[in-house]
Amino acid sequence: MTVVLVGTSHHHAPVEVRERVALDLEGAAALAAELADGCEAVCLSTCNRTELYLAGDDAAALEHRAVRVLAALGGADEARLAPVLYRLHGASAALHAFRVAAGLDSMVPGEGEILGQVRAAYEAGRPGPVLDRLFRQALYAGKKVRAETAISESPTSVASAAAALAEQVFGELRGRSVLLIGAGHTGRVAARNLAKRGATITAVANRAGERADSVARAFGARAVALEDVTAVLDAVDVVVSSTSAPGVILPADRVAAALPARKGLPLFLIDIAVPRDLDPAIHGLDGCYLYDIDDLESVVAESLAGRREEAVRAEAIVAQEAERFAAWHAARDVVPAIALLRERAEEIRAGELARAETGLERLSDSERRVVESVTAAIVNKLLHLPTVRLKEAAAGTDGGAYADAVRHLFGLGEQPEDGERS
């Protein structure tokens, strides 16, 4: 059984492509259930990536199925989507999953949110024994990296990078007012980081009024309804949006309607949602400067300068855990073959002793025990080297081939020949 991964991420596709294949957790769970027809399936979808993890016997068929599903999800034919997709099999897919869980493949390396997102995807998916082991070990690797390295130093999330970008633009955030659109976890993290840098959270807008009220009280701001956002645009310097809406919630024409009241003051907007919350056309309006999640990479690059050594240590931990998974996965093919081989040999030994029972009747109990011991020793010695070689093969890439050869040569899993029956 092979692990197959097909996906796209910020390394391969811009946000306008990623948002077309992005899913919330409910959608990811539904897609995993759809894919889990004769295979194992987990769907991981975050602001940085959408990845389909499958495990089954026919790697080529699984890859084709995953590509077809992503193309349908993105509303594009497979040929157009193909250049932004990556396809990984076996050990490479496992290593990638471990790097993702450790935050090493994120836009903000070491980010704290990805581990929870990986866990949620795993719990919402349809894993079997292989993907269960893969994701449990990936979560372990992610925790180990956070415990044993300093890769998670600030900024540790897209939201904190957004605050750093705002500070870069203004030079000083003290005295700057912020409208927060979206009062979920990402919005709260963004608000905390902006407030720490001196900004004032003026208003909080959210679809659910109770959540907006809660976040607004925490920062001394006022809660507003999403449809009333335009009314506060004339009084803020920065807009940060991070809702889970399926599409644009603030069109360019609504922003344009608020501009005359601003009297030429610049408006800085950061959209860290995927799919995007803010109409890309806003960037073309006079005095408006719109940044999306892909624009945060310059901030992230600066934050990495002092963490190269920690990243190297984190990569070593991830590689070690990936090797452990590869050894376990290879042994899944070999261990059953070893067990079947020994079981068949013991059946033959016991059957031959039973056929010779008449001749053994005259032996004493101690002599019979000697016969049992000698025949068992012969079997063990004959099987010792094949067992060792099979276990050695399990550590490499040809363990499955060895296991198949042993099953074929000894007819394991088949009914014994008449001469072998007791």
The catalytic residues are 47
3-class secondary structure, 2: strand
Q: For the sheet containing 177-181, what is the strand order?
A: 222-224, 200-205, 177-181, 238-241, 267-271, 288-292
CB of 52 closer than 8 Å to CB of 45 = no
Q: Which two tokens stand for residue 409?
A: 């040569």
Q: Which two tokens stand for residue 149?
A: 């390295």
CB of 85 closer than 8 Å to CB of 8 = yes
Distance CA 10, CA 298 (A): 14
Segment holding 202, helix H or strand E: strand 200-205
CB of 187 closer than 8 Å to CB of 215 = yes
3-class secondary structure, 172: coil
Residue closest to 282 by CA, chosen among 270, 294, 297, 298: 270
Give yes or no for a cis peptide into 251 (omega within 30° of 0): no
Distance CA 104, CA 101 (A): 8
Proportion of the chain in helix, strand, coil states, percent, rounded to 5: 60, 15, 25
Distance CA 1, CA 56 (A): 5
In this structure, the chain runs to a length of: 422
